Amino acid sequence: MKLALKKTNLTPPQILVIGFAVMISLGATLLSLPIASASGQPLPFLDALFTATSAACVTGLVVVDTGSTFTVFGHMVIILLIQIGGLGFMTMATLFSFVLKKRISLKERLILQEAMNQSSMEGIVRLIKRVLQYALTIELVAAIIFSIRWSFDFGLAKGIYLGVFHAVSFFNNAGFDLFGPITGPFSSLTSYASDPIINIVSMALIILGGIGFIVLSDLLDWKVNKRRLSLHSKVVLSATGFLIVCGALVIFMFEFTNTKTLGTLDWQGKILAAFFQSVSPRTAGANSLDIAGMRQASQFFIIVLMFIGASPGSTGGGIKTTTFTTLIGAMITMVRGKEDIVLFHYRLGKDRILKATTITLLALGLVIFVSMVLSTTEDYPLLMILFEVTSAFATVGLSMGLTPNLTDVGQIMIIIMMFIGRLGPLTLAYALGPKVEKELYRHPEGKITIG
Q: How many domains does the chain have?
A: 1
446 located within any domain: no
Model confidence at 89, in pLDDT bands (50, 70, 90)? low
Q: For 92-133, write each residue's pLDDT tens digit.
A: 555 555 555 566 666 566 656 655 555 556 566 677 777 788
Instruction: Write out the residue range of the structural domain in which residue 348 sits.
Output: 11-428
Residue 4 resides in a domain: no
- The yes-or-no verdict on residue 1 having pLDDT over 70 is no
Per-position DSSP letters for 235-282, written without gaps between them: HHHHHHHHHHHHHHHHHHHHHTT-TTTTTTS-HHHHHHHHHHHHHGGG
Mean pLDDT of 324-339: 91
Work out the angle at residue 279's Cα, subtended by the Cα atoms of residues 325 and 287, and round it to the nearest 5 degrees: 145
Highest-scoring range by mean pLDDT, 80-84, 252-256, 441-445: 252-256
Q: Is the pLDDT of residue 260 over 90?
A: yes
pLDDT, position 29: 96
Within a domain: residue 98?
A: yes
Residue 2 lies in a domain: no
- Is residue 440 situated within a structural domain? no
User: Which has the higher per-residue pLDDT, 176 or 108?
Assistant: 176
Q: Looking at the domain assignment, is residue 436 inside a domain?
A: no
**Can you give the pLDDT at residue 315?**
75
Q: For residue 356, which amino acid is it?
A: A
Percent of the chain clearing pLDDT 70 (strictly above): 84
**Within-domain flag for 434:** no
Rounded to an integer, what distance in angstroms lies between the CA atom of residue 142 and that of residue 167? 6
| Dihedral angle over CA of 349, 309, 418, 75, nearest 10 | 130
Q: How far apart are CA 70 and CA 68, in angstroms?
A: 6
What mean pLDDT is predicted for residues 24-52? Answer: 95
pLDDT averaged over every residue in the chain: 86
Sorting pLDDT into bands at 50, 70 and 90, what band is 8?
Answer: low
Per-residue pLDDT averaged across 197-202, rounded? 96
**At 2, is the pLDDT very low, low, confident or very high (cuts 50, 70, 90)?**
very low
Among 86-95, 282-291, 303-312, 359-368, the least confident range:
86-95
Count of beta carbons in the 10 Å neighbourhood of residue 71: 16
Average pLDDT over residues 444-450: 72
Residue 442: inside a domain = no
47-75 residue pLDDT tens: 999 999 999 998 999 999 999 999 999 99
Q: How far apart are alpha carbons 61 and 188 in whole angstroms?
A: 11
